[in-house]
Amino acid sequence: MNDEEMKTYFDELKSELGDKITDDALRRELNTYLNEYRVTPDAAKRGIKRKYGVADTQSFSPAAGIIKKISELKGTEMNVDVVAKVLFVENKQITVRGASKMIISGQLGDETGTAPFTIWESDSMELDAGKTYCFKSVYTKKWNDKVQINLGARGKVEPSLTEVEASAPMAMPSGRTLKVSEITDGPGSLTLIAKIVSVESKEVTSKGVNKTIYHGILADSTGKIQFTAWNDLGLKESDVVCIKNAYIRSFRGIPQVNLGDNTEVTPSDEPIGEVVTADVFRTVSDIIENGGGLDQTICGRVIEVRQGSGLIYKCPECGRIVIDGACVNHGSVEGILDLRLRLVIDDGTGAISAIMNRENSEVLTRMTLNAARDFMNSGSGNITEIGRKMAESIIMRKLKVTGNVMSDDFGPSMVVQRHEVVACDVVAEAEKLYGEVEAAL
């Protein structure tokens, strides 16, 4: 979509966002959503407004002054109050438009259910797990059919005069022992018996105090999952442990196990079978239904090579893509050339986006970074034509790709760690397809 076509959407967004975003930044955002993500204009407007803290009145239904129980929330509320107990809470440092800010997230519960929450404007706010608060002027949305509670600039949190008893978590009741492959994003606590594959410590700042946290990988016979422990629980690599009262939080659709103040970790002699060390093969439909994960493998055909493939400019500081000479984190920078592929792979059960780095892209297309640079500098073509040449060499090829799978509002995507071209017998596949079609008639 060219600049003239985008002007209508630019003017509409500018009138709603005001001084929350500069004109140049808004143009870059629109270009990214419409020309790189290739989403519809309505989806682009919703995404940009949500990113800059402006509620989409077409997506939310007003409910001013209403107090709702968690089970009554539909994921479409714009302005409601919720009185609930904080079951789990953590502070996170994130980067928005190049600036660092602190948000608060966790789990809330009342007598009717539980739900995750995020406070986007914390302003040195402190919440304590186990205490009841009144969350005023929250808005809600749904992720994977689960309601999420959000507090923006208009909302506030006050201690409640009335205590609330949280019900037992509905999604994953405490005491139920799950396998790694059974863990999905959602409220509740769980028990997990697994081997500690790796564990590291790092220093973070929480509520103005330096704190050591521990993170790593857990695994059983069904898969691997990341964990974070907020206290020193004596975790040691290669130990098999029983973890009780852990909570699940997801980052971009990848479930992670959180070990909080109420979590118990004890040695376990229970056999867990052969621990997964290899990659986990999954179908796209399973990923769409149950969420992403670590070291996932899918096999399918490349049905699209998306815009933004080929030569790109990356920020020398953080490695993010540079658009119109600007990095979202570091502003105006002189980008460095790199090579990548943005693919859509279909395995017959669904389609998934896949991003390949320079090394994988060079091997797959036999177009090196140096060759692409020389081709552009010779005047024979531009960045767009280089992407087109790379696409011609791989479209409709069958690949087995492995990487970490994440999910967001635009569906699942994989950051490919390695790939393999799968040889195909076209005649045999055609005969198989013909037989299936004939049998269905």
Q: Please state the domain extents for the chain.
A: 3-51, 66-159, 177-267, 280-427
Residue 296: phi and psi, rounded to 5, are -90, 145
Give the per-residue pLDDT at 162: 85
Comparing 66-159 with 177-267, is the CATH topology the same? yes
Which CATH code fits 280-427? 2.40.50.140
For residues 214 and 47, which has the higher predicted lDDT (pLDDT)? 214
Q: What is the mean pLDDT of the chain?
A: 82
Contacts of 387 (CB under 8 A, 6+ apart): 305, 307, 308, 309, 310, 311
Q: Is 190 helix (H, G, I), strand (E, B) or coil?
A: strand
Q: Provide the token pair at 243.
A: 């973890």
Does 95 have pLDDT greater than 80? Answer: no
Confidence of residue 106 (pLDDT cuts 50, 70, 90): confident
| Per-residue confidence (pLDDT) for residue 5, from 0 to 100 | 62
Q: Which amino acid is at 348?
A: G
Per residue in 126-154, pLDDT (tens digit) is 888 889 999 999 998 887 667 889 998 77
The domain made up of 177-267 is a member of CATH 2.40.50.140: yes
Give residue 126's pLDDT. Answer: 83
Is residue 209 pLDDT above 80, yes or no?
no
Q: How far apart are CA 310 and CA 384, in angstroms?
A: 8
Q: How confident is the model at residue 172 (pLDDT cuts 50, 70, 90)?
A: very low
Query: To which CATH superfamily is domain 66-159 assigned?
Result: Nucleic acid-binding proteins (2.40.50.140)
Q: Which of 249, 244, 210 is nearest to 228 (CA)?
A: 249
DSSP 8-state code for residue 153: T
Question: Which pLDDT value is given to residue 408?
Answer: 65
Over the range 25-43, which residues count as b (16 or more CB within 10 Å of their CB) and which as e? bbbbbbbbbbbebbbebee
Confidence of residue 230 (pLDDT cuts 50, 70, 90): confident
Reply yes or no on whether the pLDDT at 265 is more than 90: yes
- Mean pLDDT (whole number) for 302-318: 88
C-alpha distance across the termini of the chain, in Å: 42
Q: What global pTM score does this model have? A: 0.53
